[in-house]
Amino acid sequence: MQTVEIVASPSGSRQESQPDSPRLGKQFWRLFVVCLSFDVGFGLYFFLINLYLAQLHMGEKAIGMVAGALTIGNVAATIPTGLLARRVGLRPILLFAFLAAPLLAAARIVAPQPALQLLLAFAQGIAMCSYTVSFAPAIAALTSSRNRTVAFSIMFGTGIGSGVLGGLAGGQGPEWLRHLYPSLGLRGGMAYVLLGGCIIAGVGALPLLRLRFPHTPASDPPPIRGMYTPFLLRFMSMVAVWNLAIGVIAPFASLYLAGPMHLALPRVGAVFSASQLLQVTGILAVPALYRRIGQARGIALLQAAAAACLLLLFGTHRVAWVIGEYLCLAAFQYMCNPAIYGLLMDRMDEQLRASASAVQNLVSCCAVAGASLLGGIVISRFSYAQLFLISSGFSFAASALTWFVTRFEVGASAPARNL
pLDDT digits (tens, 9 = 90+) for 300-315: 999 999 999 999 988 8
Per-residue pLDDT, 302: 94
CB 347 within 8 A of CB 228: no
pLDDT category of residue 339 using cuts at 50, 70 and 90: confident
pLDDT category of residue 269 using cuts at 50, 70 and 90: low
pLDDT category of residue 20 using cuts at 50, 70 and 90: very low
Q: Which domains does the chain have, with CATH numbers?
A: 22-209 (1.20.1250.20), 224-412 (1.20.1250.20)
CA-nearest of 333, 304, 288 to 398 is 304
pLDDT category of residue 228 using cuts at 50, 70 and 90: low
Q: Give the pLDDT mean for 167-192.
A: 79
pLDDT digits (tens, 9 = 90+) for 103-129: 999 999 988 788 899 999 999 999 999
In this model, does residue 373 exceed pLDDT 90? no
Q: What is the pTM (predicted TM-score) of this model?
A: 0.67
pLDDT digits (tens, 9 = 90+) for 46-94: 877 877 887 888 776 677 678 778 878 888 888 888 888 878 888 899 9
Per-residue pLDDT, 101: 95
